[in-house]
Structure 1
Amino acid sequence: MNYILCIFIPLILFGCNQQNRELNTKIINDSLCIFTNEAKNYGNDSFLVEAVKANHSKEYQDEYNKSYKNFKFPIDEKSCIAIPLDKIEKNAVNIIVLSTINKTFRSRICVLEDDSSISIKQVEAGKFTCD
């Protein structure tokens, strides 16, 4: 019996562990538009959106944090959640997270701004510069 439990419990824990999923980002009308691009329509859900400047040498401090309760889950560009660009640090690595009680979507991006345009660059995990 103990042998069966030793095998069964790790399988349950491994099966319940959800990996982070990719969060899609796009700039629309002076906002960072985020959406999951999931095929499944979750309908209304409660979730948290956070934007954090990636900095390995300082404490965690979010630049933007907003809770949504019973809100249409952003599965596509039409239903995206807009984060004002002034809440995102430009030319720095930002981690954008959308999380529910059982799903987490994450994106590491740089919002690059120069004199004439604004663009988004995806950043590899572990990198802290936009180069």
Structure 2
Amino acid sequence: MIKNFLILFFFFSSFLFLSGCDFEANAMRLPLSLEIQEDNICVYTNNKRSFLNESNEDAWYLIYANRSDNSKEKKFEQKFMLNERAFPFKKENCILIPIGKIDINKPYGFSLDSGKHFYERACILRKGDGYEVKKVTSTENCDE
């Protein structure tokens, strides 16, 4: 009985290791909302149950944007203390990322970590006189 359990455990562990544990990482990601507000990207969770430590005055959350291509170049990162700024549950209190910090027409991974991980891969595209957010799955281009 124990031998069968160990064999099953070994095969399951090997599967997760060989797959890069991507299954587990993606299962723990929650969607992140992105919208354009003037010349900024408005980032918020649209989820009231976004923060694990709301009662902790020293709690913080981190927002960042990385290029999704092989460079993984970090273009924006900012840490906020919960006692200094409200958590971005909704559009009205979103975090504004200046569009000038992001390369246009390149896929980015936008992340917000608060003990829970919110993520969205998107491109910022020019549209007429303004910009638009296009959600993508590709790490290399915005053409999907």
Tell me, yes or no, whether TM beats 0.5. yes
TM, length-normalised to structure 2: 0.70
C-alpha distance in 2 between matches for 1:25 and 1:115: 19
Matching residue of 2:41: 32
Which of 51, 59, 63 matches 2:65?
Answer: 51
Structure 2 spans left out of the alignment, 5+ residues: 7-24
Structure of greater Rg = 2
Matching residue of 1:9: none
Matching residue of 1:63: 75
C-alpha distance in 1 between matches for 2:129 and 2:40: 16
The 10-residue stretch of structure 1 (115-124 or 25-34) with the greater mean CA deviation from structure 2: 115-124
Summarize the alignment of residues 14-25 of structure 1 with structure 2, pairs less than 5 Å apart. Answer: 19-25=28-34
Which of 111, 119, 129 matches 2:132?
Answer: 119
CA contact (8 A) 2:32 2:45 kept: yes
CA contact (8 A) 2:69 2:139 kept: no
Identity score, percent: 24
Matching residue of 2:88: 74
Which of 96, 102, 110 matches 2:123?
Answer: 110
Q: Mark the CA change 1:73 to 1:54 in structure 2 (over 3 Å): closer, same or farther.
A: same
Matching residue of 1:83: 97
Deviations 1:43-96 (A, max 9, x none): 57411111111112x3x3200011111231101000100001101110010111
Structure 1 spans left out of the alignment, 5+ residues: 7-16
Q: How many residues align?
A: 118
- 1:83 maps to a residue whose letter is I
The 10-residue stretch of structure 1 (113-122 or 28-37) with the greater mean CA deviation from structure 2: 113-122
C-alpha distance in 2 between matches for 1:117 and 1:31: 10
C-alpha distance in 2 between matches for 1:83 and 1:107: 14
TM, length-normalised to structure 1: 0.76
